[in-house]
Amino acid sequence: MVRLQFVNTSRFGIMRWKSIAPIQNTVSRYPIIWTRNIAVLTEDMKKDAEIHGGLKSMDSLPGPRTFPILGNLEHIRTKFMKMHITQLKNAKKYGPMYKDKLFRNNAIIVQDPDICKEVYRAEGKLPHRDFSISLREFLKAREKMQLPKSLLDLNGEEWAELRRKFHKKMLAPINMKMFYPQFSDVAVDAVECIRRLRDENSIINDVREEVLGKWALESIGKFVYGFRTGLLDQTLTDENKRFYEGIKIVLTNAIFLSRAKWLKYIFWKAYADLNKGMKDWHAIGMKNTKKVMEQVKNAEEMGKTLEDSIANSLTCYLILTKNMDFNECSVHAIELFGAGYDTTSITTSWVLHWLGMNPDKQEILYNEVIDRIPEDGRITDAAVQRMPYLRACIKESARLTPMIFVNMRSFPEDMVLRDYIIPAQTPILLSNYNMGRDESIFPNANSFMPERWLRENKEEDEIHPFTTLPFGFGARSCLGRRIAEAEMQVFLAQVVRQLKIKYIGEEQEGDNIFGITLPKSTFAFYDR
């Protein structure tokens, strides 16, 4: 239990609630007892600092050498593709909180779970996220289509009101249960797809591109529309090809072109592809929404009962219980495909990497799965509950190689964090990657040891809850978390049960592209 006391914690005479000592109960490795909570910088604090000293400017934070326009040359030398590795090296030199620069932009990198906790807790009920920077070109292209605003466009009360509409359906574990067997059917088809695409040496060159991306979208389709879209079929329809290519091109090009406003004038082909991809993705997404709407309308008019899977779909839920119209349902459904496509496929590809590199751990997982899988081979939520090693493998992979290597936060006002003044809007990068590789937090940090997450293991009790947060934290954390977990659990159980996985290549650190840690994904899959 965390005990709170109203105390004068600072030289500035500011009274605030503090957690005292007890963090030790849960987090024995981090006995930080007196920490100044992150707080908005007030005029009083400034005055006190002038009189007594104490507050330091962000410039005095330690950090690598940077240059006015170019920023940190190491990022340029590594073509911005090894930022996670550079950060890890810097963490060793500069400690738990340091400053860095990406071109002109200052940022703070944090790799201490206690400081991360303070930052996450400070964001309150309406965390602000500005996607207009990283996804500007996507949002603009969508604006041209005159569609309603979505979770990505919105902030403040408007965002909170919209997000509440999805909570029960997407985040309540009880509602996710029914999707396990459905995701299991999709996973069986994905395993068949792997079998089909293997060469004569059982190798697939890029399983993420050839199978995992389509499997992730097909699973989301089942949740969102309640029917199969056919992305794992042997021959893709022309429509499905356009849908898949559309999502891929939009995500890649939008993130690239959003980096600077002038890029679209030079890379005009990328810009044209982005707009074409948007049209294809949205047109086909809207066609699918229409299909659900028609079925709901027909059922109502003719007094028929809806097919179970359609009745349980997100679209049906939004129409019937949230009164959303066609455009609203379409835009939210389409957005979920974008949010869940590369996140889930990349994260899963990393788990396959670690299992492929560690045959002994893969064997433990195999034994667990065949022991607990239901007789008909359809994996239920109850079956997964009895597979702790499976869940531990996913967690351990996310610790070693989180797909999103930093969670970002920024505040609209100047803040004080550990006596440093952090100017408003400065990105604070909370480094999942660095904390995951910290030996003082995780002994044998570079080894794949799922056992450390098992309940019976003492280490599990001591792991600070803010070290491994692949889905973010708080009010704005990942809305698709339960879906992604369910998809990955049933897919990995189905693969391991039927195939032996071997990663082709050395242990890899992956490239970091636009903040995403991207693995190579060449694997051999041998029949068991």
Binding residues for ligand HEM, per CB under 6 A? 129, 151, 163, 220, 336, 339-340, 343-344, 347, 403-404, 407, 470-473, 476-480, 483-484
b/e for 54-67, b at 16 or more Cβ within 10 A?
ebeebeebebbebe
**Distance (Å, whole) CA 189 – CA 245:** 20
Q: Between 131 and 267, name the residue whose CB sits nearer to ligand HEM.
A: 131
CB of 131 to ligand HEM, least distance (A): 8
CB of 321 to ligand HEM, least distance (A): 18
CB of 427 to ligand HEM, least distance (A): 12
CB of 120 to ligand HEM, least distance (A): 8
Q: Between 306 and 478, name the residue whose CB sits nearer to ligand HEM.
A: 478
3-state secondary structure string, 474-512? HHHCCCCHHHHHHHHHHHHHHHHHHEEEEECCCCCCCEE
Q: Between 348 and 498, name the residue whose CB sits nearer to ligand HEM.
A: 348
- Whole-angstrom CA distances from 28 to 22, 389, 457 are 9, 24, 15
**Distance (Å, whole) CA 410 – CA 426:** 6
User: What's the helix, strand, coil split of the chain in %, to 5?
Assistant: 55, 10, 35
Adjacent-strand bridge partners of 415? 40, 422
**Distance (Å, whole) CA 100 – CA 29:** 27
CB of 116 to ligand HEM, least distance (A): 11
Q: Between 151 and 365, name the residue whose CB sits nearer to ligand HEM.
A: 151
Can you read off the two tokens belonging to residue 286? Answer: 């809207």
Can you read off the two tokens belonging to residue 482? Answer: 């339960």
Q: Between 356 and 470, name the residue whose CB sits nearer to ligand HEM.
A: 470
Q: Between 48 and 485, name the residue whose CB sits nearer to ligand HEM.
A: 485
Q: Strand, helix or coil at 301?
A: helix
- Whole-angstrom CA distances from 275 to 96, 132, 248, 316 are 42, 17, 12, 29
CB of 129 to ligand HEM, least distance (A): 6
CB of 28 to ligand HEM, least distance (A): 26
CB of 336 to ligand HEM, least distance (A): 4
Distance of CA 190 to the CA centre of its chain: 22
- Whole-angstrom CA distances from 382 to 155, 241, 378, 388, 448 are 37, 35, 11, 12, 26
What does DSSP assign to residue 147?
Answer: P
Q: Between 55 and 428, name the residue whose CB sits nearer to ligand HEM.
A: 428
What does DSSP assign to residue 451?
Answer: G
Q: Strand, helix or coil at 59?
A: helix
Q: Between 41 and 207, name the residue whose CB sits nearer to ligand HEM.
A: 207
Q: Between 220 and 422, name the residue whose CB sits nearer to ligand HEM.
A: 220
With a CB cutoff of 8 Å and minimum separation 6, the contacts of 204 are 194, 197, 198, 210, 211, 522, 523, 525
CB of 351 to ligand HEM, least distance (A): 10
CB of 347 to ligand HEM, least distance (A): 4
Sheet of 523-527: strands edge to edge? Answer: 203-204, 523-527, 499-503
Instruction: Assess contact for 208 and 521: CB atoms under 8 A.
Output: yes
Q: Between 333 and 499, name the residue whose CB sits nearer to ligand HEM.
A: 333
CB of 403 to ligand HEM, least distance (A): 5
